[in-house]
Homo-oligomer: A and B are copies of this chain.
Amino acid sequence: MSERLVVIGGDATGMAAASQARRLKGPDELEIIAFERGRHTSYSACGIPYWVGGDVAGPEDLVARTPEEHRARDIDLRTGTEVTELDVEGRRVRARELESGGEYWTSYDKLVIATGAAPLRPDLPGIDAPGVHGVQTLDDGERLLATLTRARGKRAVVVGAGYIGVEMAEALIRRGYDVTVVNHAPQPMTTLDADMGALVDEAMRGMGITMVNGTAVTALGTGPDGHVNAVRTDEAEYPADVVVLGLGVRPQTDLARAAGLPLGPSGGLLTDLAMRVRGHEEIYAGGDCVEVLDLLAGRTRHIALGTHANKHGQVIGSNIGGGYATFPGVVGTAVSKVCELEIGRTGLRERDAAAAGYQCVSVTIESTSRAGYYPDAAPMTVKMIAERVTGRLLGTQIVGREGAGKRVDIAAVALTAGMTVEQMTALDLGYAPPFSPVWDPVLVAARKAVKAVRAAG
């Protein structure tokens, strides 16, 4: 008796789940049908800024596995087909072929919901004008590049200064644009504490980017041809030949919501550790459409990140394939790059820690990426947050140049292990002059944090 697995969404989570399930179970045991609205599968949306910036030649480089490759692995992949309804009771989904408009129901024994996230698109005058672009899908990337190629002028405005905003600012700088970033928050990168975000702000200004912080966009102006030509705020107007929206994303869970599946405070699906939707043993969900457990804050949150999406797919596929795997949660690690600036963060910010009920101390130190005497030793600022009394590490943020970003992994592993900053001071980290000062910057921060914990009592 063959079972049928239906997958909704053909990107990282959906196709990783399908592929892993197929690896464990052949077509005679498990039929796999995957529905994907777009034309592409298994691509790296995170790579779009580098494609736009010219570092990656074409969209095909961002595709890990094409529809044809999936089909060759006995996955019945139906692109250009949107799932419009989920009947949980009847264990079936309704699909619509976008081109023909034809609709049909397909039943399932197991279901994977991997519908991803949708970019936030504020309801502003002019938001739908030509020249205003999101960068969530490969198709978005193609449309943006078409606008850039038409080259009306070289003034770009990026709205938002989170990961996508800063990465797109870099991409546009690399393409020779004058870049203005209009940012609602007082600093870029609100995933950092304000003091660390201020370092990013300073560095971006140093790259020639015009930073307009603490300012909301009120409208997008358009020219006589209807194309965008300005970004307006309450105080000013910024001329724009192209506008990129980098306002973050929200879980795309309208289908799940309509079906009555459980959603968390951010609107993401809630799952158990095996990535099954809570209360529904036969429905799995993962990737940008779910909330993940924040192991430090003890609550779920929405974090759209390709690395989690791929892990989710792996876990889901293993479990559907008869194996066993869990996704225990995250500590909130993220790295980003704006030109030469590297930004790493993991764990809780000060305000997260307070909101979660922790009392904490925080310290900030300056160090270098290599021994001070070694060529190209680059300055690096490390902020470390630890729990009062226990000294348990709660978070780490690093802003610097080469060697700063991935250093945050040291803290990510320490957070996962529940280490105290005192334990961290004894960590046996790699040392040689081209790689680190004799005290790694993370150790310097841990030492200072130990003193702060003791002083706070």
Q: Report copies per complex.
A: 2
Q: Is A431's CB under 8 angstroms from B371's CB?
A: no
In the complex, what residues of B have CB within 8 A of residue A168's CB? none
Are A435 and B413 in touch, CB under 8 angstroms?
A: no
Kindly state whether residue A55 has any CB partner on chain B within 8 Å.
Answer: yes
Within 8 A of B (CB), among A256-315: 305-308, 310-311
Of the residues B332, B337, B406, B413, contact of A413 by C-beta under 8 Å: B413
**Chain B residues with CB below 8 A from A306, complex form:** 431, 438
Nearest B residue to A305 via CB reads: B431
**Cβ contact within 8 Å between A435 and B335:** yes
Say which residue of B308, B335, B430 sits within 8 Å of A432 (CB atoms). B335
Tell me if A61 counts as interface (CB < 8 A to partner B). Answer: yes
Could you say which interface size class chain A belongs to? 35 or more
Min C-beta distance of A221 to chain B, whole Å: 33
Set B61, B62, B373, B430: member contacting A406, Cβ < 8 A: B430
How near does chain B come to A121, taking the closest CB pair, in angstroms? Answer: 23
Contact between A409 and B430 (Cβ–Cβ < 8 Å)?
yes
Partner of A427, one of B337, B412, B431: B412
CB atoms of B409 and A374 under 8 A apart: no
| CB atoms of A327 and B429 under 8 A apart | no
Judge whether A412 and B430 touch: CB under 8 Å.
Answer: yes
Query: Which residues on B sit within 8 Å (CB–CB) of A331?
Result: 428
Q: How far is the CA of A109 from the CA of B334 in the complex (A)?
A: 51
Bound Cα distance from A334 to B409, whole angstroms:
17
Cross-chain contact of A434 among B62, B326, B337, B373 (Cβ < 8 A): B337
Question: Which of B62, B332, B423 makes the CB contact (< 8 A) with A373?
Answer: B62
Which A residues from 17 to 34 make CB contacts under 8 A with B? none
Q: A311-B426, A332-B428 given. 20 additional CB < 8 A pairs?
A: A44-B371, A47-B433, A56-B374, A62-B373, A306-B438, A307-B431, A307-B439, A308-B428, A333-B429, A333-B430, A335-B431, A346-B430, A406-B407, A409-B429, A410-B410, A410-B413, A413-B413, A416-B423, A416-B426, A416-B428
